[in-house]
Amino acid sequence: MPQRGDQRQQGRKRGPSPGGPIRKRNCYFCREKVDEVDYKNINQLRRYVSEKGKIRSRRITGACRRHQRQVAAAVKRAREMALLPYSTG
């Protein structure tokens, strides 16, 4: 008689992901050795904001946790200073 854990393992699919190999995204700020993300650098911040004005996730941008938090704070600060729009519309 199979154990409970065996039943769970049976349904799982092993092997490479269906979309192909996952490439490791490196944080742009870590590569360039940037300590602080500047809210006045609008061209750089636009890469981290979608067309609708939402802040893109780490999974999409490839930023590390530390720099993603700084990007989010910089985008919010730039929005408040009217350098970036809250939304497009």
According to DSSP, residue 2 is labeled: -
- pLDDT (0 to 100) of residue 5: 58
- Distances 76 to 34, 62, 87, 88 between C-alpha atoms, Å: 19, 19, 12, 15
pLDDT, one tens digit per residue, over 38-81 is 999 999 999 999 999 999 999 999 999 999 999 999 999 999 99
For the chain, domains (ranges, CATH) are 27-89 (4.10.640.10)
pTM of the predicted model, to two decimals? Answer: 0.72
